[in-house]
Structure 1
Amino acid sequence: MADGEPAFTALTSFTGDALPYAGGNPYADYRRGELPFGTLADLADRRLGAGVVAANDEFFAERENLLRAGPAVFDPERFGHKGKVMDGWETRRRRGASAEVPHPGETDHDWALVRLGAPGVIRGIVVDTAHFRGNYPQAVSLEATSHSLSAAPEDLLDPSVEWTRLVPRTAVGGHAENAFAIHVERRFTHLRLRQHPDGGVARLRVYGDVAPDPGWLTELDTFDLVALENGGTVEDASDRFYSPPEHTILPGRSQKMDDGWETRRRRDSGNDWIRYRLVEQGVIRAVEIDTAYLKGNSAGWASLSVRDGADGAWTRLLPRVRLQPDTVHRFLVNPIPATHVRIDIFPDGGISRLRLHGSLTKEGAARLTERTEALG
Structure 2
Amino acid sequence: MSTPENAGHNTTDFTELPNLAARPLGAGVVAANDEWFADKENLLLAETPVFQPHTFGPKGQIMDGWETRRRRGVSAEEPHVRPDDHDWAVVRLGAAGVVRGVVVDTAHFVGNYPPYASVEAAYLPGHPDLADVLADDVAWTEIVPRSPLKGDTAHRFDVAVEKRFTHVRLNIFPDGGVARLRVHGEVVPDADYLDGLMVDVAAADLGGVAEAASDRFFSSPHNINAPGRSRVMGEGWETRRRRDDGHDWVRIKLAGPADIAAVEIDTDHYKGNAPGWIRLVATDGTPEDEASWYEILPRTRVQPDTRHRFRVAPGRSATHVRVEVYPCGGVARLRLLGRVTDAGLAELRRRTAELDAD
Q: TM-score, normalised by structure 1?
A: 0.87
1:327 aligns with 2:306: yes
- Partners of 1:173 and 1:243 in 2: how far apart? 29
Contact kept? 2:73, 2:83, Cα under 8 Å: no
| 1:186-265 map, 5 Å | 186-219=163-196, 221-265=197-241
**Cα offsets for 1:95-136 (capped at 9, x unmatched):** 12459xxxx999511111100011110000011000000101
Contact kept? 1:44, 1:206, Cα under 8 Å: yes
- Partners of 2:156 and 2:83 in 1: how far apart? 24
- Partners of 2:257 and 2:145 in 1: how far apart? 38
Contact kept? 1:291, 1:352, Cα under 8 Å: yes
- Partners of 2:86 and 2:146 in 1: how far apart? 11
- Partners of 1:123 and 1:67 in 2: how far apart? 18
Deviation at 1:79, TM superposition (A): 0.7
Q: Which residue in 1 is equivalent to 2:353?
A: 373
- Partners of 2:26 and 2:19 in 1: how far apart? 11
Q: Which residue in 2 is equivalent to 1:358?
A: 338
1:287 aligns with 2:263: yes
- Partners of 1:106 and 1:72 in 2: how far apart? 31
Return the letter of the residue paired with 1:346. Y
Return the letter of the residue paired with 1:298. A
Other structure's SS at 1:299 match: coil
Matched residue count: 339
1:173 aligns with 2:150: yes
Same amino acid, percent of matched pairs: 55
- Partners of 1:214 and 1:94 in 2: how far apart? 45
- Partners of 2:117 and 2:12 in 1: how far apart? 19
Other structure's SS at 2:292 match: coil
Return the letter of the residue paired with 2:309. R
- Partners of 2:201 and 2:95 in 1: how far apart? 15
Q: Which residue in 1 is equivalent to 2:297?
A: 318
Deviation at 1:170, TM superposition (A): 1.7
Other structure's SS at 2:261 match: strand
Contact kept? 1:304, 1:318, Cα under 8 Å: yes
Other structure's SS at 2:269 match: coil
| 1:80-91 map, 5 Å | 80-91=57-68
Contact kept? 1:292, 1:325, Cα under 8 Å: yes
Deviation at 1:370, TM superposition (A): 1.0
Deviation at 1:35, TM superposition (A): 9.0
Alignment equivalent of 2:129, drawn from 152, 160, 177: 152
Question: Compared with structure 1, are the counterparts of its residues 83 and 283 closer, same or farther at alpha carbon in structure 2 (3 Å cutoff)?
Answer: same
Deviation at 1:296, TM superposition (A): 0.7
Contact kept? 2:202, 2:335, Cα under 8 Å: yes
Alignment equivalent of 2:108, drawn from 131, 140, 151: 131
| 1:40-51 map, 5 Å | 40-51=17-28
Return the letter of the residue paired with 1:362. D
- Partners of 2:339 and 2:60 in 1: how far apart? 53
Return the letter of the residue paired with 2:124. H
Q: Which residue in 2 is equivalent to 1:29?
A: none
- Partners of 1:194 and 1:361 in 2: how far apart? 41
Q: Which residue in 2 is equivalent to 1:92?
A: 69
Gaps of 5+ in 2: 1-10
Other structure's SS at 1:41 match: coil
Other structure's SS at 1:123 match: strand
- Partners of 1:105 and 1:230 in 2: how far apart? 39
1:305 aligns with 2:281: yes
CA RMSD across the alignment? 1.8
Moved over 3 A (4+): 104-107
Question: Compared with structure 1, are the counterparts of its residues 270 and 353 closer, same or farther at alpha carbon in structure 2 (3 Å cutoff)?
Answer: same
- Partners of 2:61 and 2:318 in 1: how far apart? 54
Contact kept? 2:74, 2:83, Cα under 8 Å: no
Deviation at 1:138, TM superposition (A): 1.7
- Partners of 2:146 and 2:83 in 1: how far apart? 11
- Stretch deviating more after TM superposition (43-52 or 307-316): 307-316
Deviation at 1:148, TM superposition (A): 2.8
- Partners of 2:92 and 2:83 in 1: how far apart? 27
Alignment equivalent of 1:343, drawn from 323, 329, 335: 323
Deviation at 1:373, TM superposition (A): 1.3
**Cα offsets for 1:7-36 (capped at 9, x unmatched):** xxxxxxxxxxxxxxxxxxxxxxxxxxx992
Contact kept? 1:149, 1:189, Cα under 8 Å: no
**Cα offsets for 1:161-186 (capped at 9, x unmatched):** 11111122222111111111000000
Other structure's SS at 1:126 match: strand
Deviation at 1:71, TM superposition (A): 1.3
Other structure's SS at 1:75 match: coil
Return the letter of the residue paired with 1:232. G
- Stretch deviating more after TM superposition (104-113 or 352-361): 104-113
Contact kept? 1:35, 1:179, Cα under 8 Å: no
Deviation at 1:293, TM superposition (A): 0.7
Contact kept? 2:93, 2:167, Cα under 8 Å: yes
Deviation at 1:150, TM superposition (A): 2.3
Q: Which residue in 2 is equivalent to 1:18?
A: none
- Stretch deviating more after TM superposition (104-113 or 71-80): 104-113
